[in-house]
Structure 1
Amino acid sequence: MSEGRIIQSVARALNILELFESSRDLSVTEIASRLDLSKSTAFGLINTLAHKGYLEQNPRDSRYSLGLKVLRLGGAVQRHNIIASRAKPFMEKLVQEFSETVHLTVERNGMVVYIDKIRGDKAVFIQSAIGAENPMYCTAVGKCLLAYMPEAKLERLLSKMQPLERRGPNTITDIAELRQELQAIRERGISIDDEEHVPGLMCIAAPIRNHDGEVVAAISISGAKAGISSKLVGRISEKVAWTAQQISGEM
């Protein structure tokens, strides 16, 4: 763990949340006493946490308990862990068959987040890591997640992405063209990044759905474009789509 600077106010706020591991509800006085804080300092931190939804105050007795935001974050961790555990054996099979790198991703705050990665044997360096983020509009997994997103959320994210920065020689930088690409992805069920994010790199992705049919993740194969022939693109696309369907069935 990094030994860099610790922000005291952040540490104190997290200490407050950790108190609720063993207590259902607490008053401001109890929180201040347990953490050796002044009542005014404790109240400021508690009020901030409540404003952000991490704590809730009972209007009857003014005591605080954990808020729904904590439950949402915990649910996100659980969902991501479930997706990764279900997908892992299928990801391993893809790597064994094609010897290329396989990624598993979700959307978070308008970015693609990698929740698992298995590197293939083929000698191509792909700069990605579990927990890392990348833009959505120029990655195969990102476009895949955008394509199946609810319309209102899609429009909100697209408005924040503009202008679309060029990342590779084939990056889509026109929003109207990107909309057409998303429609094409929905029609074929496959998303392709052909040197849109990184020069020389090609990625092929497909959507993973939960038990309600909602797209919650995307899986992809990434490799050097020079080593992926047009015939191989077709075979990889079919296998990635089939794999995504199998994982969706496991969900």
Structure 2
Amino acid sequence: MTTRNRPTPPAAESTAEPRRRRVQSAEMGMGILKALAALGGAASLTAVAQAVGESTAKVHRYMASLVEQDLVAQEPLSQRYFLGQAAIHIGLAALRQCDPIRAGEPALVRLQAELGVTCFIAVMGNQGPTILRIEEPALPVVVNVRAGSVLPLLWSATGQVFLAHAEGGALDAQMLQEWERSTPTQKSLVPRKAAIAALREQVRAQGCASVQGLLSAGISAVAAPIRQHTGQVAAVLTALGASGGFDAAPAGRIATCVRQEAEGISAALGFVG
């Protein structure tokens, strides 16, 4: 039996066309808001039109609707448009939902599957860097870390990232206490203040921290910062494995993957690097 394509009834066509126009209008409005945000939150009509690739006349019509909804406002003297109160409230509501653990879970699972090593996300707790979410391979590395474990600042890759990006001297007292309690081997690797300052600078320059056998013999790790929208470090993403098969080089594959995933999580939290 042969089935023929039947023409769309006129009524269906008339219903679909307005729907397409509404979708296109919504896309244009969102594009204008994104352009304003990318331009720093305030810009001229011409700059916005160039950013979205449309005529100023067309963008002006959409601007009028956005102004009515308080998503955009206009400065009377300069005539520049900027994000309105409604847009600010939407942004604040989104920021309140920005949880580095929740935002980082997909990346954490993906990183562990790709590298085949233990991966975790840690935040700065009252006692130090604390693991909150961990993914392990089928045959996990025998190392005493789990959700809730507290890591040192100086002797773990995770702690070194927090230390490198700490503002002021917030972590200095804890760091010095760790140094005083450290083993002779650890002290020889990080000989007091001058080396600690150099370590901080090195981690910032590399975009990650890398340790080999510093916390536990035969264990290496690479860690990178997860930043919130203000640029402050909200959490740290870490990959950890047995040194024999773990390339901890800052320019190596593991470090590159960890940095890329941490940057992706940071972007989800609103950070624009």
1:197 is matched with which residue? 215
2:118 is matched with which residue? 101
Please give the per-residue CA displacement for 1:90-121, whole angstroms capped at 9, x wherever unaligned.
01111111110001001123511001100023
Computing the radius of gyration from Cα coordinates, the structure with the larger value is 2
Asked whether the 8 Å contact 1:168–1:195 carries over to 2, the reply is no
| C-alpha deviation, 1:165, in angstroms | 0.6
Matches within 5 A, 1:172-183: 172=190, 174-183=192-201
What amino acid is aligned across from residue 185 of structure 1 in structure 2?
V
| C-alpha deviation, 1:174, in angstroms | 2.7
Distance 1:223 1:151 in 2: 32
Quick one: which of 109, 114, 134 aligns to 2:151? 134
Return 5+ residue gaps in structure 1 as ranges. 1-78
What amino acid is aligned across from residue 246 of structure 1 in structure 2?
G
Alignment of 1:228 onto 2:228: no
**TM-score of the two chains, using structure 1 as the length reference:** 0.62
What amino acid is aligned across from residue 152 of structure 2 in structure 1?
P
| C-alpha deviation, 1:126, in angstroms | 2.3
Please give the per-residue CA displacement for 1:172-191, whole angstroms capped at 9, x wherever unaligned.
35332122111100111110
Compared CA separation, residues 151 and 192, structure 1 to 2 (3 A): same
Over the residues paired in the alignment, what is the CA RMSD in angstroms? 2.7
Quick one: which of 181, 184, 209 aligns to 2:227? 209
Asked whether the 8 Å contact 1:189–1:206 carries over to 2, the reply is yes
Matches within 5 A, 1:1-251: 82-166=99-183, 172=190, 174-229=192-247, 234-251=252-269
Give aligned-pair identity as a percent. Answer: 22
Please give the per-residue CA displacement for 1:102-148, whole angstroms capped at 9, x wherever unaligned.
01001123511001100023452121111121211100000001100
Compared CA separation, residues 82 and 111, structure 1 to 2 (3 A): same
Compared CA separation, residues 231 and 193, structure 1 to 2 (3 A): closer
Distance 2:140 2:132 in 1: 22
Please give the per-residue CA displacement for 1:1-30, whole angstroms capped at 9, x wherever unaligned.
xxxxxxxxxxxxxxxxxxxxxxxxxxxxxx
SS at match of 1:178: helix
